[in-house]
Chains A and B, each alone.
Chain A
Amino acid sequence: MTFPWFGSRKTFAHGIHPPECKDLTRDKGIRRLPFAPHLILPLSQHTGAPAKPIVREGQEVVRGEPIAEPGGFVSVPIHAPVTGIIEKIGLARDARGGMSPAIFIEQYQAANQEILYGAETDIDSLSPAELVKAVQATGVVGLGGAAFPTHVKLALPEGKSVDTVIVNGCECEPFLTTDHRVMIEQVDSIYKGIRVVMRALGAKRAIIGIETNKLDAVEKLRAAIPAGIACAVEAIEAKYPQGAEKMLTKALVDREVPSGGLPIDVGVAVFNVGTLAQIGELLPFRQGLIERVVTVSGTGVRSPGNYLMAIGTPLRFILEQVGFRERECELIFGGPMMGTTIASLDVPVTKGVTGILAIAKDHPLAHRNGRVYPCIKCGACVEACPMHLNPSELGLLARKMEYESMAEQHHLMDCFECGCCSFVCPSNIPLVQYFRVAKAITRERKVSK
């Protein structure tokens, strides 16, 4: 393979190069997973206010039918992923380990699971304000993991403007290949989605940023740029966390999002490529988000792959389908750098789940729970931190519980917990965990003041 961009590859400063481990699923086309007999749909599977149920127990629902309405502006509706009956509305285990309200659906095994809901619309006739409403009605949230309601990003605050839409096809987390497959298999939907967000924001151009480990996707998308939209496809260095929106903005348009700010402060809006593909697919038919592509990978899984699965599918069902090796392992929702470990097999896949990883204990990259040595001030974390913080110093302050100094003099709140510092630390210091605690305490103190 040649790298025509070598030497002039766009990127950001610092960051790390963890082994990619993407070969397990890179070339596996998207396959549909069977529908699980019972689905669990948490009411809060996005950032913002939880959705409000609009169904009652025992009610029959059709695949694609809305079953919960948004609980506010920063909230989205939830749609029934299968034709079936509402079993109950009650508490369910969530990925964080606690219990949260959810709608339980029992699937009709005999139903043909055709999507009957929706109405074809001409999206070009909609005004930007109507587009925002229409996007909210699809229930689409950031599918790259953040699960932030997409329509909120489309509604420009007073006095702000966006000139560039950045499409995030980096997928810098090891193991994950969800976006990679989407970029190869859903090219048209992606461009439809780009057209929608560009129109809603009044943006002049769009740039698709893809890491150099996915050159096939670069070629595919570049060849398919439709006439009439100013869109560029850029190959950027494969480096973690290239897909963080601040890093990506820096790499592609060389603008630094100010500390504590958002990309919109520099005239940029960043969308995950999978999110746009869903908007492009759902919006013309006014349908709702009911399924997503999830990479199921890791050494603990028998048949790794990229599966299209109904939202709400419980983890236990997925593992039964793909085969779970009888080994001690760690189950992760999301990528290995920023994902969450799952303690229960009854947790369902939600809109923000990009991957399900089963990393066996004997994996060469697995966390060994090694002895924590004192900080030897090697500076590896300083050279890794994409926000140019000093994790070593922050870590020492955290040990002394000097949270105020961390926040005020050492820019603690700029940390977005990418995990680079913990990954490189030779002394096995759990830096990110320290910062998570320190950030939570700082936020609490700010509220109580």
Chain B
Amino acid sequence: MSVGTHAIDIRTSPHIKGQLTTDTIMLHVVYALLPVTAFAVFVFGLSALLMILVTTGTCVLTEHLLCKLSRKQTTVGDYSAVITGLLLALCLPPAFPLWMAVVGGVVSIGLGKALFGGLGMNPFNPALVGRAFLQAAFPVAITTWAPAFWPKVWSIERFTSIMLPTVSLPFMRPESVAAFIQGVSLDGLSGATPLAKMKFEHQATPLIDLFVGMTAGSAGEASAFLIILGGIYLCARKMMNWRVPVSILVTASLVSGAFYLSDPQAYPTPMFMLFSGGLMLGAVFMASDMVGSPMTPLGIWIYGALIGAVTVLIRLKGGLPEGTMYAILLGNACTPLIDNLTQPRIFGARKKAVKQ
């Protein structure tokens, strides 16, 4: 038998390859975000759906156009822009004006990512850059919360009509969300978030409401349960470093626990801290963004501890009810420094001769 002619492949070692690739990881992050997204639509209705579609669309489109402009192959296929879009929508109020959401999407990708050189080069989480920009540009709109309609309101009105601020015209003052709430709801439904209630009215929200997601807040903050579920899925598939959320949540509960023990009347319980606001979403899906977090295990513990502690300090001592966003951005900013300080000891380096 003759061997004949063949196409023989030549390459350098290694010749085999683990089959987990970047686009697969990103795609699975999208999968993990889907339940949170779906629940946001279920709780907040058509407005939330529109906003999610608009931010995701804007992010993907911006990424594509910027690639074209810089004459590079488009990088839309790696799904990272989809994640940014989803995360941006999930950390905005459900009735956020759509035109502002478009601005947020463009800023996220353009300023937060493409400007630094695209995927892998961005020092900050792009979605949070977009949100920080919106917070500075539209401070009122971004703190105008719609209440969670489910399960207090069974009306399906939230799926058939749009909250007025959603469709407000560019550069016009957004309509008030109050009118819509009046239209569909019973009394006692307020758009104040649990954190704002805690900070300004000293009124705690039942834990179960926080856990399941029956509170006012950003679109994706609602259900801690679904967020944790998505996080567990990603950790189990080794697509996320479990140390990030764990270190953040542990530190946040320790720091807030210390405050609570010092004065139980003035400060909320650690459990309230963990499950309210954007901490869960931020810890699981934003701080764990591989690009902006340190690479060494020790570095990640430091990074997580920093974010957890700063979040609690801003919430309890700062002027804002919520501090997750700034805490994560601060953590991102410290990452290169942390990475530098926590380089592992090289095998066999700086070690005295072993006794023989």
Using a CB–CB distance below 8 Å, which chain A residues touch chain B?
A: 16, 18, 97, 161, 163, 174, 246, 250, 255-261, 265-267, 316, 319-320, 323-324, 326-332, 336-343, 345, 357, 359, 361, 363-368, 370, 373-379, 382-383, 386-390, 392, 411, 414, 417, 419, 422-428, 430, 432-433, 436
- Min CB distance B119 to A, Å, is 5
Decide if B179 is an interface residue (CB 8 Å cutoff): no
B-chain residues with CB within 8 Å of residue A265 when the two chains form the complex: 353
* Shortest distance between the CB of A46 and any CB in chain B (Å): 20
B17–A365 touching, CB < 8 Å: yes
- Measured CB to CB, the closest approach of chain A to B299, in angstroms, equals 9
Q: Which residues of B contact A266 (CB under 8 A)?
A: 353-354, 356
Candidates A255, A329, A367, A426; contact of B25 at CB < 8 Å: A426
Pairwise interchain contact B2-A376, C-beta atoms closer than 8 A: no
Closest to B20 in A: A426
B8-33: contact bitstring with A at CB < 8 Å (1 yes, 0 no)?
A: 11111111111111111100000000
Complex CA gap A361/B345 in Å reads 39
Contact of B15 among A323, A367, A376, A382 (CB under 8 A): A367
B186 within 8 A of partner (CB) = no
Residue A366 contacts which of B17, B22, B343, B351 (CB distance < 8 angstroms)? B17
Interface residue ranges of B268-302 to A (CB < 8 Å): 290-291, 293-297
Verify A18–B16 contact, CB threshold 8 A: yes
Q: Is the CB of A339 within 8 A of B13?
A: yes
Contact of B14 among A161, A337, A374, A414 (CB under 8 A): A337
Q: How far is the CB of A428 from chain B (nearest CB, A)?
A: 7
Which of chain B's residues has its CB closest to A367's CB? Answer: B17
* Interchain CB contact under 8 A, A374 and B16: no
Q: Is the CB of A364 within 8 A of B347?
A: no
Contact B290 A337 (CB under 8 A): no
Q: Are A427 and B22 in contact (CB under 8 A)?
A: yes
User: B348 near A436 (CB under 8 angstroms)?
Assistant: no
The interface bits of chain B over 217-243 (1 if a CB of A lies within 8 angstroms of the residue's CB, else 0) are 000000000000000000000000100
Taking A316-B3, A331-B8, A390-B344 as contacts, is the C-beta distance between A379 and B295 under 8 angstroms? yes
Check B347 against A373 for contact (C-beta < 8 Å): no
Q: Which residue of B19, B20, B295, B356 contacts A163 across the interface (Cβ within 8 Å)?
A: B356
Please tell me if the beta carbons of A328 and B6 are within 8 angstroms of each other in the complex. yes
**B349 in contact (CB, < 8 A):** yes
A377 to B241, CA, bound (A): 12
Q: What distance in Å separates the Cβ of A353 from its nearest Cβ neighbour in chain B? A: 14
- Asked if B290 and A411 make an inter-chain contact with CB atoms under 8 angstroms apart, the answer reads no
Nearest CB in chain A to that of B294: its residue: A379
- Which of chain A's residues have a CB closer than 8 A to the CB of B22? 373, 376, 426-428
Q: Quick check: is B174 within 8 A (CB to CB) of the other chain?
A: no
Closest to B238 in A: A380
| B→A interface (CB under 8 Å) | 1-4, 6-25, 78, 117-121, 241, 290-291, 293-297, 343-349, 351, 353-354, 356
Q: Which of A343, A365, A376, A392 contacts B19 (CB 8 A)?
A: A365
Least Cβ distance of B240 to chain A in Å? 9
Q: Shortest CB–CB separation between residue B41 and chain A, in angstroms?
A: 29
Q: Are A388 and B15 in contact (CB under 8 A)?
A: no
Q: For residue B344, which residues in chain A have a CB less than 8 angstroms away from its CB? A: 382, 388, 390
A388 engages B3 (CB within 8 Å): no
Is there an interface contact between A423 and B14, defined as CB atoms closer than 8 Å?
yes
Q: Is the CB of B348 within 8 A of A343?
A: no
Q: Is the CB of A436 within 8 A of B347?
A: no
Output the least CB separation between B201 and chain A (Å). Answer: 42
Candidate in B20, B296, B344 with the most chain A CB atoms within 10 angstroms = B344
Give chain A residues whose Cβ lies under 8 Å from the Cβ of B15.
330, 332, 336-337, 339, 341, 357, 359, 366-367
* CB neighbours of A332 from chain B (8 A): 15
12 additional A-B residue pairs with CB within 8 Å, beyond A361-B9, A376-B291 = A250-B347, A267-B356, A320-B3, A332-B15, A337-B15, A376-B25, A378-B25, A379-B294, A414-B347, A414-B348, A427-B21, A428-B17
Inter-subunit contact A376/B290 (CB<8 Å): yes
In the complex, which of the residues A257, A326, A329 contacts B9, with contact meaning CB atoms closer than 8 Å?
A329
Q: Which 6 A-B pairs have the closest CB atoms?
A: A419-B14, A374-B120, A379-B295, A365-B16, A330-B9, A373-B22
- Tell me which residues across on chain A come within 8 A of B17, comparing CB atoms: 365-368, 370, 422-423, 428
**Given A18-B18, A378-B290, also A419-B13 (CB < 8 A):** yes
